Structure 1
Amino acid sequence: MKKLVMYLVAAILLGSCANGQPYKERNEFAAVPQLKPNEQVATFGGGCFWALSEAMLELKGVNKVVSGYAGGNTKNPTYEEVCTRTTNHAEVVQIYYNPKQISYSTLAESFFFAHDPTTLNRQGPDVGTDYRSIAFYRTPQEKQTLLQVIAKINATKHYSGKVVTQVEPFKVFYPAEKYHQGYYRLHLADNSYLTSVSMPKIVKMRRVMKAQLKPEFQKL
């Protein structure tokens, strides 16, 4: 009980995702976009989806990013349910991109640099299976690409530890509530969690993948 109380207090201080949201708004879910001609989709989870969504959206060739849940066994989960860690879902982002402008391999590399893939079931102060590092593949080629990128990152010793990211076949994606979408850009000025936890991840990805960023983000 003491640990639970401490966790709840920490979540409030850091800017818990659902904190301050009216109940009705908390249960209005985003829509899953229809794929455009010549558009492809990728799904990754790397901690809180606020940071990962912004990081992936800044890449050239990425048209849209939707925050949501995947990897679990509960249909249409709410954020509150995912936070209980009884659904087995992870917070993820679904990326809609133009493969003529950015490859799946580049997306995968960016994903691994936009969070710490070496910490099991946690990202900084966010602890739990819902914050686990996980990458979903839709084809055997994507699986091979993910394994190759992981081997490359391990070989370069970019991180002091080994990558522990789960690589799993894609099954289903459930979009998160509307208020989670684009949250980083909407609340950066008034949320200390974003400046202290989310921003460093995005800055790190920008630094490593600078050549792959949209022009407006290359200057940041």
Structure 2
Amino acid sequence: MKKLLSIIALTVLFNCHNQAQTNPKQQAVIDAEPVVVPLKDGKARAYFASGCFWCVEAIYESVKGVEESISGYAGGFTENPTYEQSNTGRTGHAEAVEIIYDPEVVSFSTLVDVYFGSQNPTQVNGQGPDHGSQYRSIIFYQNEEQKKIIEEKKAALSKSLDATIAAEVYPFQKFWVGEDYHQNYERRNPNNGYIRNVSIPRLNRFKAKFPELLKDDEKH
């Protein structure tokens, strides 16, 4: 009887814990209808979270057809998040990038390949040495076609690796542009210890894996 009571008590405890961890604001973001970002001057926009945005920004900017990669925050429920707020993990956001690209040169499908091919796809809540929900992997869709592309590629990768893929799939809602000093950080701070030891090796691994996707001036 004591054993049974202990099991019941533990069950109640864990249920309460799970309920306490459920954030209705975050769930509302996950359940929302996606926001479509219209073409501007023939350029489309896509949004990805894959660990530190310094790394991800540089990776996408090396890809043919990508005009610009902007660091910021997405996937959360907090208005106007700052870097300091995001770092607490309490805003719901992840460090993310906005990719401005020419869909005549590079497809959304290829950008998803870049996404999965430039990270450790099985690492939960982080990439490399960066840990926490603010570094989690999220891939954002703006319509059902994009959602289907993401889910099919995620399922294929899971099958090929025989592992669970950590990336969450969210409807795109809003991208908050990060502070000025984060933009082009890797390019402007090549001697920074993190850049030298984490960002540049990650970029070089991507370049070695996908040489056919690189801009001409990135092939070195």
TM-score class, shorter-chain normalisation, is 0.7 to 0.9
For residues 144-199 of structure 1, the C-alpha deviation after alignment (integer angstroms, 9 at most, x for no partner) is 01112112322333xx74311000100011000000000000001x2111111112
For residues 100-140 of structure 1, the C-alpha deviation after alignment (integer angstroms, 9 at most, x for no partner) is 00000100000111221211102121110000000000010
| Equivalent residue number for residue 168 of structure 1 | 170
Measure the CA separation in 1 of the matches of 2:148 and 2:132: 27
- Of 109-118 and 69-78, deviating more is 109-118
Measure the CA separation in 1 of the matches of 2:157 and 2:129: 24
Larger radius of gyration: 2
Measure the CA separation in 2 of the matches of 1:184 and 1:36: 27
Residue from 54, 57, 75 that aligns with 1:53: 57
How far the C-alpha of 1:35 sits from its partner, in A, is 5.3
Matched, 1:130 2:134: yes
TM-score under structure 1 normalisation? 0.80
Matched, 1:38 2:39: no
| Equivalent residue number for residue 19 of structure 1 | none
Q: How does 1:1-220 map to 2 (within 5 A)?
A: 36-157=40-161, 161-188=163-190, 190-218=191-219, 220=220
For residues 49-77 of structure 1, the C-alpha deviation after alignment (integer angstroms, 9 at most, x for no partner) is 00000000110000011100011111011
**SS of match in other structure, 1:167:** strand
Measure the CA separation in 2 of the matches of 1:122 and 1:153: 18
Measure the CA separation in 2 of the matches of 1:74 and 1:102: 32
Which runs of 5 or more residues in structure 2 are unaligned? 1-37
Measure the CA separation in 1 of the matches of 2:174 and 2:75: 8
**SS of match in other structure, 1:195:** helix
How far the C-alpha of 1:210 sits from its partner, in A, is 1.1
Measure the CA separation in 2 of the matches of 1:213 and 1:153: 22
Measure the CA separation in 1 of the matches of 2:156 and 2:163: 13
Measure the CA separation in 2 of the matches of 1:56 and 1:111: 9
**SS of match in other structure, 2:169:** strand
For residues 20-47 of structure 1, the C-alpha deviation after alignment (integer angstroms, 9 at most, x for no partner) is xxxxxxxxxxxxxx95322110000000
Letter in 1 for 2:165: V
- What is the aligned-residue RMSD (CA, Å)? 1.4
Measure the CA separation in 1 of the matches of 2:75 and 2:205: 26
Letter in 1 for 2:89: R
Which runs of 5 or more residues in structure 1 are unaligned? 1-33
Measure the CA separation in 2 of the matches of 1:148 and 1:194: 33
Letter in 2 for 1:71: G
Letter in 2 for 1:172: K
Measure the CA separation in 1 of the matches of 2:74 and 2:199: 21
Measure the CA separation in 1 of the matches of 2:179 and 2:127: 21
Measure the CA separation in 2 of the matches of 1:58 and 1:88: 29
Measure the CA separation in 1 of the matches of 2:131 and 2:104: 37
The runs of at least 4 consecutive aligned structure 1 residues that moved more than 6 Å come to: none
